[in-house]
Structure 1
Amino acid sequence: MSKIKIELPDGTETECIHAYGLTYNAVVQKFFKDTDLKTHIEEIRDLEIRDDDIYLATFPKCGTHWVWEILVMLKRGDAEYDTREKETLFLDFKSSKEVDKSPSPRVLNCHYPSKLLPKGVLQKGTKIVHVMRNPKDAFVSYYHHHKTFKTGPLAQSFDKYLPLMTGDYGIYMFYPWFTYVKEWERFTKAHPKQILNLFYEDLKEDPVREIKKINNFLDTGRSDELVKDIAKACDFQNLKKADAEVKIKEDPKKPAGKPSPMYRKGQVGDWKNHFTVAQNEMFDEWLAENLIDTDLKFRYTL
C-alpha cells in the first residue's frame, strides 16, 4: 500500500491510500501523463465551479453512470441520451483543463471523499447528489471490475479478495468504504440543504419516485411525464444498449458497438451468489463494528 499526503482547506493533511496493488508511479503513468496524483488532486480542488454545475458523489460501483445520465437528462429537459460518456466530466481522471473546456451545464462526477471536494463546491453551495449502495453488492461489483480490468493483485478469487475489501485500507485508492460513507454522513449534517443522499436500492425499487426527489432537489421543474420517460430511458438494459449504440467512446481501446464492461448486472442481491454463509457472517460482524457510530441503514434485498 502507498500513501500520499493532501492538504485540506482547513490547513490539515489527510493521507490518501492507494489499494490497487500498484505503485504511485504506475498510477501516474496510467492515468496522469503530464502530472502526478497529488498535483492532480490539488488542481481539481482548485477547479473553477460554475453556478449551474451539479456535483455527483459516489463510492465506486454505486451507480455513477446511471445517476449521471439521470442528472444530465433532468438538467437538459429531455430523455435523450447524451453522446458523451460520463467520463468526460469524471474528476478522478480528467485534468482541470479538460473539464474547463466542457460546455455548461455540467454534471461533474467524482469518487473522492468529501474532504477532497473542489473548494468552489462549498463556496458556491453547489448542489450535491450523493448515491450509496449496500456494501455487499458494491464490493461484489468492484471484485468483477478488478477481474475485468486485471487490476493488480486484487484481480483474484473472491475468497482472497474479500479480506482485502474489509481490511484497514479497503478497496479504494483513498479510503475504506465505511470511512467514505461516514464522512459524507457528517458532511450532510453540516450542510443539509446542499446535498441529497440517495440509495441505489431505492432507485431500483421505484426509479420514478427517486427521480422526482432529484427533480425537486435541483429545482429543475420537470413534468411527471418527463420523469417517467427518464426513468425508462435510464433502465439498466436501455442504458447498456445506449452505451453501445449512442456513446462516442473517448478511449480508443473500447470496442465500437459494444457496451462498456462497467455495465454488468445492475442488480440488488447479487452478493448472495458470491458470499458463503461464513463470509456473510464475518461481513456482518465487520459492518456492525465499523458502523456503530452512524445512523446509516442499508438494504440487501428488494
Structure 2
Amino acid sequence: MTTKMKLVKPDGSILEFHFAKGLHSSRTYRHILNFPVREDDIYLATYPKSGTHWVWEIIIMLQKRSTDYEKKVKEFAFLDHRDISTLADLPSPRVLNCHYPRHLTPKEVLSKGIKIVHVQRNFKDVCVSAYHHMKDSHERNTTSSFDEFLPLMLGTYGIYWYCSWADYVRQWEIFTKAHPDQILNIYFEDLKQLFQTTLQDSVQEIRKLNTFLGTGCKEALIEKIALACSFHNLKKADAEFKENPFKKDKRFDMYRKGDVGDWKNYFTVDQSEQVDKWIAQNLPETQLAFRYSL
C-alpha cells in the first residue's frame, strides 16, 4: 500500500511523491527537526549504505571502553524509522544515527554544538550496495536489474527522498567548513583499508574517533576494538548475538560484503563515465576526494 507525501524543500518549493506506507511521513521529519537532544548525545550522520552500522558499533565500544558487543542494534537509536518518543527511554550517552541531510538534522544538534560523526562512501559502491539492499529487503518495488536501478540514483532525490548523494555530501562539506570543530568526517574507504593492514596500522581511524569524542581509550583497547569491529566479526555478531526486532526477514543480511571497488562488477564503462560526469556536475569545486579502489 502506498500513500502520498508533500515535503517542503530548502528553496521553499513543494515535493510530492508516493511511498510505501509506514516508512516515512511528513510528521516524522517535523518531529526529528524538533527532537530534544541531550548535551552528551553523539550524532552519526550517513547517507544510506555508507557504513552506519559499522561506525555505530565502534563508537559504542569507545564509549563503554569495552569490546563487548552491544546486544541492541543501532536501529534502536535510528531517527529515520523509529517512533522518536521511544528514544527518550534510551540511557545516556546516546549514539543517535540518521540518514537525513543536514537541512533536516535536529535543530538542537546544531544549536547545542553536539558532536557529529559523518561517514561517507564513494558513490559507485553506494549504488551497488543500495541496489542489493532494496532488492533483498523488499523495502520498495525495486527494479529487476542494476541497469534499471542506476538512473534512480542519479535523480534529484536518489534512493532517499530528501536529497541525492551529491547533495547530501555537499551539504555536510559546507557545514564542515563553517563548523570544523563540531564534526569529524570519516571515509568508508579509509576505515576499510585500516582493517586490511597490520593491527599496528589498523587503529588510525578509531584513534581519530577516540580523540574527537574524548572517550579516553588507551592504545591497547583501541587495538582490541579494531579487531572486534572487523567486518567479518561484526557480520558474525550481527547474525549470532544481536537482538533485532526490526529485522523482518531472517535471510536479509545488513553486512553484505563491505568491499571497496565492488562497483566494477556491475558498472559498464559507459555507466562509470556517466557517473563521473554526474559527480563533476553536482559537486563543483569540491575538496572531497573519494577512492574507488584500494
SS at match of 2:29: helix
1:216: how far off? 0.5
1:56: how far off? 0.1
Deviation string 1:45-64 (CA, Å, 9 cap, x unpaired) is 22211121100000000000
Whether 2:214 is the aligned partner of 1:212: answer no
- Among 208, 211, 217, the alignment partner of 1:222 is 217
More displaced stretch, 225-234 vs 159-168 = 159-168
1:254: how far off? 4.1
SS at match of 1:296: coil
1:200: how far off? 0.3
Whether 2:278 is the aligned partner of 1:286: answer yes
- Among 225, 229, 238, the alignment partner of 1:234 is 229
1:155: how far off? 3.3
Partner of 1:50: 38
Whether 2:94 is the aligned partner of 1:106: answer yes
1:251: how far off? 2.8
Give the 3 Å change call, closer, same or farther, for CA 186–210 of structure 1 in structure 2. Answer: same
Partner of 1:264: 256
Whether 2:73 is the aligned partner of 1:85: answer yes
Task: Identify unmatched segments of 5+ residues in structure 1.
Answer: none
- Among 109, 124, 141, the alignment partner of 2:112 is 124
Task: Identify unmatched segments of 5+ residues in structure 2.
Answer: 195-201
Whether 2:146 is the aligned partner of 1:144: answer no
Alignment partners' CA distance in 1, 2:290 and 2:13: 27
Count of residues paired in the alignment: 285
Q: Tell me if the contact between 1:81 and 1:242 (Cα under 8 Å) persists in the aligned partners.
A: yes
TM-score, with structure 2 as normaliser: 0.91
Q: Tell me if the contact between 1:85 and 1:248 (Cα under 8 Å) persists in the aligned partners.
A: yes
Q: Tell me if the contact between 2:36 and 2:108 (Cα under 8 Å) persists in the aligned partners.
A: yes
Give the 3 Å change call, closer, same or farther, for CA 77–96 of structure 1 in structure 2. Answer: same
* RMSD (Å), alpha carbons: 2.0
1:30: how far off? 2.5
1:114: how far off? 0.4
SS at match of 1:128: strand
Alignment partners' CA distance in 2, 1:219 and 1:112: 25
Deviation string 1:4-28 (CA, Å, 9 cap, x unpaired) is 23487xxx7475676xxxx24x3xx
Q: Tell me if the contact between 1:56 and 1:128 (Cα under 8 Å) persists in the aligned partners.
A: yes
SS at match of 1:154: coil
Q: Tell me if the contact between 1:55 and 1:126 (Cα under 8 Å) persists in the aligned partners.
A: yes
Partner of 1:191: 179
Deviation string 1:126-180 (CA, Å, 9 cap, x unpaired) is 1000000000001110011111023434332011111121123322111011011
Whether 2:269 is the aligned partner of 1:298: answer no
Q: Tell me if the contact between 2:71 and 2:242 (Cα under 8 Å) persists in the aligned partners.
A: yes
Q: Percent identity?
A: 51
Alignment partners' CA distance in 2, 1:48 and 1:182: 26
SS at match of 1:4: strand
1:97: how far off? 0.8
Q: Tell me if the contact between 1:56 and 1:130 (Cα under 8 Å) persists in the aligned partners.
A: yes
TM-score, with structure 1 as normaliser: 0.89
